[in-house]
């Protein structure tokens, strides 16, 4: 069986997305970045630690954080974080944009149908 892994060039580093959970989470992180980038300044040059932490964790009310998701799901957590952080570095491809917009349209239709029913 031949498996083709997506490769992402990040400067001099090539990241090979050779597992499905990581690759999926990476794609979802990129989608989240491009869905929400307008909420921040269009040319963000820095992120604080709390901003990075809120990508994968929620404040615990004691000055720390706890995972929003299963902490044993490290592969997905790291994939999502890397995908989100790649947004400012790697432009959204036309294929990514089309998929993101299709998913958004599908979501809107589901919400409208559920409100009518």
68/72 Cα distance (integer angstroms): 11
So what's the pLDDT on residue 20?
92
Which of 1-10, 11-20, 66-75 bottoms out in mean pLDDT, i.e. has the lowest? 1-10
Per-residue pLDDT tens digits for 48-102: 888 888 888 888 889 888 887 777 788 988 899 999 988 888 888 999 999 988 8
Per-residue pLDDT tens digits for 27-61: 999 998 888 876 555 555 678 888 888 888 888 88
Whether the full predicted model's pTM is greater than 0.85, yes or no, is no
Count of C-beta atoms within a 10 Å radius of residue 33: 19
Residue 98, in any domain of the structure = yes
Residue 97, in any domain of the structure = yes
Residue 25, in any domain of the structure = yes
Total number of domains constituting the chain: 1
Q: Note down the domain range covering 67.
A: 19-116
Alpha-carbon torsion (69, 71, 73, 77), positive or negative: positive
């Amino acid at each position: 069986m031949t498996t083709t892994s997506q490769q992402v060039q990040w400067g001099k580093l090539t990241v090979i997305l050779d597992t499905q959970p990581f690759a999926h989470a990476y794609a979802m992180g990129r989608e989240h970045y491009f869905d929400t980038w307008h909420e921040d300044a269009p040319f963000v040059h820095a992120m604080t630690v709390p901003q990075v932490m809120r990508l994968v964790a929620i404040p615990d009310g004691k000055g720390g954080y706890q995972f929003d998701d299963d902490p044993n799901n490290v592969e997905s957590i790291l994939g999502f974080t890397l995908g989100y952080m790649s947004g400012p570095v790697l432009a959204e491809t036309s294929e990514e944009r089309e998929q993101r917009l299709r998913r958004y349209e599908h979501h809107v239709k589901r919400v409208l149908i559920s409100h009518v029913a």
